[in-house]
Homo-oligomer: A and B are copies of this chain.
Amino acid sequence: MWINPHPDFNPEKPLFVCILANTETAKIPNISAAGKSPQLTDYTPAADAELVETGNAISINEPAMTPSGAPTPAVLTRASMLLTGIPCLFINSGLRVRPMVPTIDINAMPGGDIRKGHAVVDALDIYKKSQALGKKLGKLSDFVIIGESVPGGTTTALGVMNALGYDSKVSSSFPDNPLDLKHRVVSEGMKSARISFGSLKNEPLRAVECLGDPMMAATAGLVDGLGTKTVLAGGTQMVSVLAVIKHLGLKRDVSIATTRYVADDASANFREMTEMLGYQAFAADPGFGSSKREGLRMYERGDVKEGVGAGGAMFAAAMMGFSQKEFREKVEEVCDSIFGAAIS
């Protein structure tokens, strides 16, 4: 099934928001595939935004793909925006590299390495600025899908989930999920922050400050401010935001949409976690197994899986009546124009 369950929303003024942030955590060797090298992950969110907006990852001089050659999930997001015509706004919630396309700056500092135990500067301030922005956007849109681009973000997600008391297994942009490494990183961070498993369950924003990343505070604040129907577009990173929202006691009409690759990732536990937290979850299958492009077929083998709100972007396309085939063909078209039709 293309989207499971099928979305039955019919919004008048849908909006897609993509929240961008960097965390030094991404520079720990072998932790993230979201960039050609750990150092280059600084450029990934900016390049993703540029690719979604213009079809060209202006800030990087090379093809926007993982080291193994799978294209950035930004191509899925761009395909959906082109198909649906839904406007997409980008939020800079702590970037080292600013995108060369219009981006809403909420003045957040980039995230630090969570091994030090203080990863986010003033999560409440980020939350409040994003909440204020959400209040405005909530007057313009009746349905908001929120994606993210944060290299290293599944590790910060694991950190926050553990600090809140969840034995979450997070997904990965690598086919082989480096879960041992992630657990070691989180353990080190907990030690530095002098916290333990579940010890911050009543202080979710403090959990973000110790072991999270700035995107989490921005997304939770945005959901709060919007007050409208909202879909978080992402995998285990957005599950951690749902946990933050739940532990803040926020009552909002929020659900989550991700790709089948995350939902079915046996090394993670997306479905169990969303069920345990009590939020509706959607899984989108782009059917890349039958794609003509090798790079997209790599998604079927576990590369990339999700990011830049790709799952939510598919959700949006389905909501607007586009079929899996129409979506996949549009993604191929986007890839052809970026990477060339001949190259995989």
Q: Which 4 A-B pairs have the closest CB atoms?
A: A87-B136, A140-B140, A102-B133, A87-B139
Contacts of A132 in B (CB 8 A): 53, 101-102
Q: Is the interface of A mostly helix, strand, loop or mixed?
A: mixed
A95 to chain B, nearest CB (A): 11
Contacts of A135 in B (CB 8 A): 87
A21 to chain B, nearest CB (A): 15
Contacts A105-B92, A107-B100 given; indicate if A85 touches B139 (C-beta within 8 A).
Answer: yes
**Residue ranges of A at the interface with B (Cβ–Cβ < 8 Å):** 13, 15, 53, 85-89, 92, 98, 100-107, 129-130, 132-133, 135-137, 139-141
* Docked complex Cα distance between A132 and B56 (Å): 15
Contacts A13-B13, A135-B87 given; indicate if A104 touches B101 (C-beta within 8 A).
Answer: no
A122 to chain B, nearest CB (A): 12
Contacts of A100 in B (CB 8 A): 107
Contacts of A87 in B (CB 8 A): 135-137, 139-140
Contacts of A137 in B (CB 8 A): 87, 140
A20 to chain B, nearest CB (A): 12
Among B101, B102, B106, B140, which residue has its beta carbon within 8 angstroms of that of A141? B140
